[in-house]
Chains A and B, each alone.
Chain A
């Protein structure tokens, strides 16, 4: 890693600052291979409470693999993964499901259930987490609240096929919010959207963070998205956390591999 002296000093200073904050996600030395393809080669990072952390990397660099390992959708080959103080590898199914109710996951393609209406899509996560929501009988107010927060209250009875790409992403975000998660993982939240809709989604992510006080881990290769939303950034190169810092710091870096991300 080719950090300049200034970069190193800043990272040390930043590390001292964040040491006092509460850690909600910790990844240490994460490794994952698919056959001979070593995707993650010892990736490490931490997410602090209330923080917006952007992980940037090229397509196929293992960003999505990393967050799928975080929620137990994939098993890493080795490494330490902890979410809100619980080590993912050691959790049984029931505990993992309970932990998942505190983690919202916005999928790259929205992943709305085709055969269900918008309302049913939002009600689906509530089935297994009724205790968390206080064993409510009528789910309508919760569904309506989540949809209002993304500006789509009128779509409640529509099917996903009747929605545009941006609307699908908003509904998926509403579905993520329905369980009032403490952490939201965004997998390429703006991919496949036109610049105006992408900007709207970014604004929505910011307002949601203010409204719900969530910590956000955003996986993207969209530099504009990273610039607007990130408080801190991690660059994933060759399967490791190659560089860390704020957008302003990293965009000024003279390291060719870091520069490559910010070239227009």
Chain B
């Protein structure tokens, strides 16, 4: 694998306005292509906005809808990771992320962990995804996560064991906590992305949106975290931005030689203990 250039498009979608958001996404794709990037990543629900509530069925799109086909077409010029609401033939609605490459859907991930606590209410409106799968791309083997997915250790763990060396997380993270030196939710996320990269010797590409919906801010801070856990490029807090980073293959190779924890991970022990726990819980 060789180095590649990624653009994290830290945009501000309009709530429920699919065509406006598609235009915004297309513009960022155009800029990324002009900048000769290999991959452009958009936030969770970039096509729709976040606090959709009863708008979910209205803004949901099938995989063969004109908007998705348009993005698939654009992926002939650049690889694209983007979030939207997916509707299936049996009328389930998913908080989904697509990885598009060379005019085709390379991977579809449906958010597994739908937060329904505090200010979140996703499970009321959306169906749960049921798998974490790594997938091959021309930029290496990758894994997709949608926001809350990343807060479950098992999600990143599964993707890393499945061979992903790049974890892409699409996010719509609301900002809260102004007591400390920095924003509480930004602090928590930065610890998470760094620790995940460090534990799994993976790179993390984190793309978070900005803007406000009903007084709730989304804090941005999109970042590229190296397998060492070091954040090498980070977007602005609370403002629209575009983060361009060169993802260096040599850094990954060296990290995996120096700290081969993932190589030494004992899948047999893990599975044996998980099966025991499953048995004991009577699942």
A and B from one complex: no
